[in-house]
Chains A and B, each alone.
Chain A
């Protein structure tokens, strides 16, 4: 069962890695999307690995990462459209 969890983690990491190609050749908005995918996929892989290898306390780390991914995304989006001028019309 543990090997199955690890295999799923490996597949998700692989999927996310391919998605990261968007970082290399995309617009700023698409780069953000790729990072968001990396954050979510990373959290999923982290949880799977943690459950498979019994690293203690990783749920808290995942919780922190989820919070940080949200924080970083907010910051980037904030700057992505800050130069667009006015508030919502």
Chain B
């Protein structure tokens, strides 16, 4: 029996999986480091975000759902900052 919430989960998780694939393809196929960095951030932010979003309806408790959101937020903050730092290191000539 598939409910509306299940459909939502499936859609969100599929989207997340797609973004991970997009990130990987970008990491492998893009021409230089900065564009690869760009591809990576999509996988980081949207891939995990969509998966977490899709799992929220399936969480047993409000606390579990909150943890999913915190995990996403953590990855967002650290991903954005480290990408900035990696980009800076790249600009300054460290290949």
Contacts and interface: CB of A to CB of B under 8 A. Distances in A.
Interface of A: 1, 4-5, 8, 11-12, 15-16, 18-19, 21-22, 27-30, 32-34, 36-37, 39-41, 43-44, 47-48, 51, 59-60, 62-63, 66-67, 69-70, 73-74, 77, 80-81, 84
Nearest to B72: A66
Given A47-B51, A47-B52, A51-B55, A63 B67 contact: yes
**Interface size, B (range):** 35 or more
Nearest to A67: B74
B64 A59 contact: yes
Given A81-B85, A84-B92, 15 more contacts: A1-B6, A12-B20, A19-B24, A22-B27, A22-B28, A29-B94, A33-B40, A37-B40, A37-B43, A43-B75, A48-B55, A51-B58, A70-B77, A80-B89, A81-B89
